[in-house]
């Protein structure tokens, strides 16, 4: 079965979610990845959506946004944003799952300003709930396209905190848990390694090589000691993704 | 209680001033009062401070129309399309003019409204620690938790009290008692924090309908200033159980607003040349009816009997 690199990325991201985990699901591609996880290996994962929805059954139709009517029908809880982000702050969420425009070698994410925040080259949409999810989930997953301009040595603006300056700097900032556990791209999966918590190349997708991934990365990307190729998507995974997005809107 | 029914034009003319701090969309992606966004543009409001966690393309349209002085929010763009082109142009090139941004996250904004609603001097949160949002929004402060023995930094979020909140609801009575269902975003916090609340009701019902299910009421009628009967006020955003999302409309807006000229033509076509929301509905014609949710999934009744 042929597949696109975007499909491969969404499926690789879906595999990061374990069954029965409570997942705070960010907008756009994370919605698709979460849907694939639940349709394949994680049927009992619970989804929290910052608009105020909790689901433990699949949505009844295609989602363009988390607040679309198919996500409301049969929801486990329809409540407010403060209630769900409050539970996140209370430590009730295993995994946070967000997208981003830029990510750096310590897994910090920028979705606010490219360039000087006072006179930016590009004004991006901003945090939404991503800053909250990054600060307060037990584990953070980030999904992003792999380009040199996106995977940078240091983000221009930290919207969503990863491991800050590495080492124990996140704890020193007052965050008691969490941090970026994986960055899933259309070429590879990067994971923090060692006491410095710098992102290392943990797996490269079919059709790429470690050298190609390093060339597309804006810092000197080192190999994780357990680095290996990413298994290709299975037919079940691809079928699940195409059921969720029959028109290919998010591909 | 006095009936509070008004037309959208009357309600916004009477209750929104230039320079006001206004909530237009508190539910994140659904239930955004685009009809009010368009009418404020027709009425030529200026220097508004738009307060919203996320309000899809509504804020981008207002910025492009030159109505906005400041955005206090967590996210501005086009949810299914991506970046907000007008928001970018205003910020990067000063077109049509520069705007100020107070950065928040969804949680810090929701907590700011909660603090405003309940008279709290600030709301303490742990989110945003380590983030540059603390640097670009000078109103946020970090202190050490005075109740902790160990070092424990806490972010203090100042209260936020909007002048006006415009809240779409599925049904309301003429006195401002309303039912809102589906996800709630920060609707409750925004309505309770605002000095004035304008409801845009899909349907006007007898007070007995609202009283029959008080748990579906997010805020009481006494905080509501005006009730506007305006079906499809949320188009192109969705309304739970009533309207699907018009994703093609957002995509078209996204493509056409890519240039200033394209945006101006879009604004003329959908806002300035359209006298009111009834004409907008007529202009959408069968496209709007195709978005109407016809299937019904009703909840069983609950019993509130008192004896």
Domain limits at B142?
122-157
Q: Which residue has the tokens 């295609």?
A: A62
Residue in chain B closest to A135 (alpha carbons) equals B127
Q: At what angle do helices B247-256 and B57-64 cross, to 10 degrees?
A: 30
Is residue B48 one of the residues assigned to a domain? Answer: yes
- CB contact under 8 Å between A112 and B132, yes or no, is yes
Residue of B nearest to A61 (CA): B244
User: How far away is chain B from the Cα of A12, in angstroms, using its nearest Cα?
Assistant: 22
Q: What is the DSSP string of A137-203?
A: SSEEEEE----TTTEESS-SS-SB-SSTTSTTHHHHTT--S--EEEEE-SSEEEEEETTTTEEEEEE
Q: What is the CATH number of the domain that holds B63?
A: 3.40.1080.10
Q: Cβ of A245 under 8 Å from any chain B Cβ?
A: no
| Interchain CB distance below 8 Å, A132 and B106 | yes
Across the interface, whether the CB atoms of A52 and B73 are under 8 A apart is answered no
Q: Specify whether B135 is located in the same domain as B176.
A: no
Phi/psi of residue A214, each to 5°? Answer: -65, -35
Specify whether B150 is located in the same domain as B181.
Answer: no
Per-residue pLDDT of chain B (307 residues; tens, 9 = 90+): 899 999 999 999 999 999 999 999 999 999 999 999 999 999 999 999 999 999 999 999 999 999 999 999 999 999 988 899 999 999 999 999 999 999 999 999 999 999 999 999 999 999 999 999 999 999 999 999 999 999 999 999 999 999 999 999 999 999 999 999 999 999 999 999 999 999 999 999 999 999 999 999 999 999 999 999 999 999 999 999 999 999 999 999 999 999 999 999 999 999 999 999 999 999 999 999 999 999 999 999 999 999 9
Strands A95-99 and A22-25, sheet pairing:
parallel
Q: If you ran DSSP here, which 8-state letter would residue A218 be given?
A: B
Residues 51-70 of A with CB under 8 A from B: 51-53, 64-69
Asked, for residue B152, whether it belongs to a domain, the answer is yes
- Cβ contact, residue pair A136, B27, below 8 Å: no
Out of A16, A50, A102, A198, pick the active-site residue: A50
Do B65 and B88 reside in the same domain of the chain? yes
- What is the complex's ipTM, to 2 decimals? 0.96
Q: Which domain holds residue A195?
A: 5-244
Structural domain count, chain B: 2
Q: Tell me if A250 is assigned to some domain.
A: no
Do B189 and B41 reside in the same domain of the chain? yes
Scored b (16 or more CB within 10 A) or e, B121-145 reads ebbebbbbbbbbbbebbeebeeeee
Question: Residues of B with CB below 8 A from A122's CB?
Answer: 83, 88, 92
- The model carries a pTM of 0.97
Cβ–Cβ below 8 Å for A125 and B77? yes
In a domain, B298, yes or no: no
Cβ-based contacts of B107 with chain A (< 8 Å): 81-82, 85-86, 88-89, 129, 131-132
Measured in whole angstroms, the distance separating CA A136 from the mean position of its chain's CA atoms is: 14
Nearest CB to B244; choose among A69, A75, A117: A69
B33 touches chain A (CB under 8 A): no
d(CA A160, CA A158): 6
3-state secondary structure of B73: strand
pLDDT in tens, A166-205: 999 999 999 999 999 999 999 999 999 999 999 999 999 9
Query: Chain A partners of B76 at a C-beta cutoff of 8 Å?
Result: 125-126
Q: What is the pLDDT of residues A89-99, one digit of tens each?
A: 999 999 999 99
Of A53, A113, A128, which has the smallest distance from its Cβ to B54's Cβ?
Answer: A128
Q: Which two tokens stand for residue A96?
A: 């946070």
Same domain, B143 and B281: no
A109–B contact, CB cutoff 8 A: no
Mean per-residue pLDDT of chain A: 95
- Contact of A161 with chain B, judged by CB distance below 8 Å, is answered with yes
B276 and B187, same structural domain?
A: yes
Determine, for residues A50 and B238 on separate chains, whether the beta-carbon distance falls below 8 Å. no
Q: Nearest Cβ partner of B131 from A50, A65, A158?
A: A158
> Shortest CA distance to B43 belongs to which of B278, B281, B237, B271?
B271
Best probe of the B interface among A47, A57, A82, A246, by most B CBs < 10 A, is A82
- A134: domain CATH number is 3.40.1080.10
End-to-end C-alpha distance for chain B, whole angstroms: 27
- Looking at the structure, tell me whether residues B221 and B271 fall in a common domain: yes
Has A237 been annotated as catalytic?
no
Q: Is A135 on the interface with B (CB under 8 A)?
A: yes
| Model pLDDT, residue A213 | 98
**Does residue B143 sit in the same domain as residue B214?**
no
Count how many domains chain A has.
Answer: 1
Cα distances (Å, whole numbers) of residue B33 to A181, B38, B263, B265? 38, 9, 20, 22
Strand A102-104: give its sheet, edge to edge.
A109-110, A102-104, A151-152
Whether the CB-CB separation of B277 and B233 falls below 8 Å is answered with yes
Tell me if chain B has a CB within 8 Å of the CB of A84: no
Q: Is residue B25 part of a domain?
A: yes
DSSP annotation of A128? T
């Amino acid at each position: 079965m042929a597949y696109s690199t975007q499909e491969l990325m969404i499926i690789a991201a879906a595999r990061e979610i374990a069954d029965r985990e409570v997942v705070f699901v960010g907008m756009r591609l994370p919605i698709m990845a979460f849907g694939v996880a639940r349709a394949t290996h994680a049927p009992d994962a619970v989804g929290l959506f910052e608009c105020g929805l909790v689901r433990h059954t699949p949505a009844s139709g295609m989602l363009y946004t988390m607040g679309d009517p198919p996500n409301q029908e049969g929801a486990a809880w329809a409540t407010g944003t403060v209630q769900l982000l409050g539970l996140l702050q209370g430590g009730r969420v295993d995994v946070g799952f967000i997208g981003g425009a830029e990510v750096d070698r310590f897994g910090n994410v920028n979705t606010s300003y490219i360039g000087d925040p006072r006179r930016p080259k590009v004004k991006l949409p901003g945090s939404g709930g991503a800053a909250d999810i990054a600060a307060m989930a037990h584990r953070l997953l980030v999904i992003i396209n792999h380009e040199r301009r996106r995977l940078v040595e240091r983000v221009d603006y930290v919207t969503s905190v990863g491991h800050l300056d590495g080492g124990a700097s996140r704890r020193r900032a007052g965050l008691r848990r969490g941090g970026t556990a994986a960055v899933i791209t259309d070429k590879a999966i990067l994971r923090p390694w060692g006491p410095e918590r710098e992102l290392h190349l943990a797996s490269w997708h079919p059709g790429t090589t470690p050298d190609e991934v390093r060339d597309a990365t804006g810092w000197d990307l080192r190999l994780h000691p357990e680095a290996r190729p990413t298994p290709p998507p299975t037919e079940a995974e691809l079928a699940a993704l195409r059921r969720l997005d029959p028109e290919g809107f998010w591909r | 209680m006095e009936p509070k029914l008004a037309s959208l034009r009357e309600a916004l003319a009477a209750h929104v001033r230039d320079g006001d701090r206004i909530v237009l969309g508190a539910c994140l992606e659904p239930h955004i009062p685009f009809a009010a966004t368009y009418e404020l543009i027709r009425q030529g409001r200026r220097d508004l401070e738009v307060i919203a966690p996320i309000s899809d393309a509504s804020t981008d349209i207002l910025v492009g129309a030159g109505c906005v002085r400041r955005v206090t929010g967590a996210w501005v763009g086009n949810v299914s399309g991506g970046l907000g082109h007008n928001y970018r142009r205003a910020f990067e090139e000063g077109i049509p003019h520069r705007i100020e941004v107070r950065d928040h996250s969804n949680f810090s904004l929701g907590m700011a409204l909660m603090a405003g609603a309940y008279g709290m001097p600030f709301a303490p949160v742990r989110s945003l620690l380590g983030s540059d949002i603390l640097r670009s929004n000078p109103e946020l402060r970090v202190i050490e938790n005075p109740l902790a023995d160990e070092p424990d930094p806490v972010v203090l979020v100042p209260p936020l009290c909007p002048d006006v909140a415009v809240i779409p609801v599925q049904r309301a009575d003429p006195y401002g008692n309303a039912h809102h269902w589906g996800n709630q975003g920060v609707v409750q916090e925004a309505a309770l924090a605002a000095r004035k609340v304008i409801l845009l009701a899909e349907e006007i019902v007898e007070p007995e309908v609202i009283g029959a299910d008080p748990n579906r009421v997010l805020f009481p009628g006494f905080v509501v200033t005006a009730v506007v009967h305006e079906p499809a006020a949320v188009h192109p955003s969705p309304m739970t159980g009533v309207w699907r999302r018009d994703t093609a409309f957002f995509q078209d807006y996204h493509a056409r607003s890519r240039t200033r000229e394209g945006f101006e033509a879009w604004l003329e076509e959908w806002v300035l040349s359209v006298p009111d929301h009834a004409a907008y509905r007529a202009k959408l014609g069968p496209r709007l009816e195709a978005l109407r949710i016809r299937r019904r999934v009703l909840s069983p009744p609950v019993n509130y009997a008192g004896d």
